[in-house]
Amino acid sequence: MFAPCNVWDCDRRDTPNCAEDAVREGVVSGEFAPCNVWDCDRRDTPNCAEDAVPEGVVSGEANPAFPNRLLILDDEPDICSMFQKVAEEIGFQVQFCTQAYEFAQTYEIFQPTAIILDLMIGEVDGVELLRSLAQRQCAADILIISGVDTRILATVRRLGMNHGLRMLATLGKPVLVEDLRAALRQSLHTPPTITERDLGDAIELKQLIVHYQPKIDLRSSDVLTVDSCEALVRWQHPQFGLLMPGTFIPLAERTGLISSLTDLVLDLVVDQISCWREEGLNLPVAVNLAPQLLSHLEFPNRLARRLSRRKIDHSKLVLEITESAAMEDPVRTMDILTRCRLKQFTLSVDDFGTGYSSLVELYRMPFSELKIDRSLVTEVDQHEDAKIIVRSIVDLAHNLGLTVCAEGAEGPEALTFLRSVGCDKVQGYFFSKPLPPSGFATFVEEWSKG
């Protein structure tokens, strides 16, 4: 008798120690000790998963001090990326795997507080993985996601509970973003305690960094090109690791630190534009403006001086303003934005489709671009109503002479639809997550090579 060898316990497919492979080859005698990736001490075996670097795992060390750590196992990378985006937005640190043996390794290193588990991963099913997690006394909240019958999902959840596991919920595929977000919120633990002084010190010590997410031009029928990018701030916290903006931007807005934070981000972006220009990379970069800045009448002049000192063309900086922020004080906003446009800055209305602004006021503002909110874009491959709304927004924007960028494209179906309705640009995890400066430059270079 041979002990069963599954992907969870063995990734050495090319060694005779795998009983399952030995049986397939016709070996009928001899005993083989199963290779268990959790307890593997065979360092000289190149296929040991503990020594290997998983291809599907998001790079970077996990920080156990961060209270919300999500590990995703799904064999579709696009799905993993979409789940990652949703989870990071609400406060999770995320890693994902596309193969079961990667999951075994990453589980031990990452120590997740929550797990998203697809029931079918190649030849391994989720029931086997649940059993293994129970044997390891897993305390993480577990969210089962699968396209199987709802009765099977319910049975799997009961089975997990009988094993003593914390079964958070089950969701059928395709997964609605709002359902996923609601389920994950149930698993959120108390976020890191961050004070106004902490954030002020971080700004002073320049612990804030910027990642860049590519925007892809859809207007060519032949070749898709990298059109520009969006700058997204992160906090490299000395204790909690890399913090997403949702963790600290609300505090900055409440305490008035948003102005100094934005000044630091703008300095970092301007410096990066200058560095890329020297390297031959000359793309516009978009920066989000907080609503509070739209009340500072001196802002356009300060911004112009910042770019002029580095001899940077003003058109290389795109200012993204949310739809609701633009409407808070229309007269003052129109004053500031018009002066920005006169100084050749590009203006984009962000998150369009989520506010309740007057279309009359909107068209009076000197915007040159409109960004469709991801809450609409992520639904176009599932709901006909979302398609109708997005198509109408694209038509409206083009009739007003605006270019259109769709945010949150997470799969090929959404991309096909957006191209069919004439959307000009798109950004989303289907193409790339936000990248550090060197990673973005590499992405552009590799993209240009096809």
| The predicted structure's pLDDT at residue 363 | 77
3 state SS of 190: coil
Residue 20 backbone dihedrals phi, psi, to 5 degrees: -65, -40
The span from the CA of 356 to the CA of 249, in Å, is 23
The residue type of 423 is C
Structural domains of the chain, ranges and CATH numbers in brackets? 1-51 (no CATH), 69-185 (3.40.50.2300), 196-448 (3.20.20.450)
| The predicted structure's pLDDT at residue 375 | 81
The span from the CA of 435 to the CA of 409, in Å, is 17
Nearest to 257 by CA among 200, 300, 208, 320: 200
The span from the CA of 191 to the CA of 125, in Å, is 33
Nearest to 97 by CA among 64, 134, 122: 122
The model carries a pTM of: 0.68
DSSP 8-state class, residue 262: H
The span from the CA of 78 to the CA of 152, in Å, is 24
Identify the sign of the CA torsion 372, 373, 377, 382.
Answer: negative
Peptide bond into 174 cis (omega under 30): yes
The span from the CA of 44 to the CA of 196, in Å, is 51
10-residue mean pLDDT profile of the chain (450 residues): values are: 41 37 32 36 34 36 68 90 89 88 85 92 84 90 90 89 91 88 86 87 96 94 90 90 85 92 95 95 94 87 94 95 76 91 94 67 84 86 87 93 90 90 93 92 90
| The predicted structure's pLDDT at residue 3 | 38
| The predicted structure's pLDDT at residue 367 | 92
339, with CB counted inside 10 A (0-12, 13-18, 19+), is middle
| The predicted structure's pLDDT at residue 43 | 33
Token pair listed for 390: 């997005």
| The predicted structure's pLDDT at residue 65 | 54
Q: What share of the chain is helix, strand, coil (3-state, %, to 5)?
A: 40, 20, 40
Cβ-based neighbour number of residue 31 at 10 Å: 8
Residue 12 backbone dihedrals phi, psi, to 5 degrees: -90, 75
DSSP 8-state class, residue 57: S
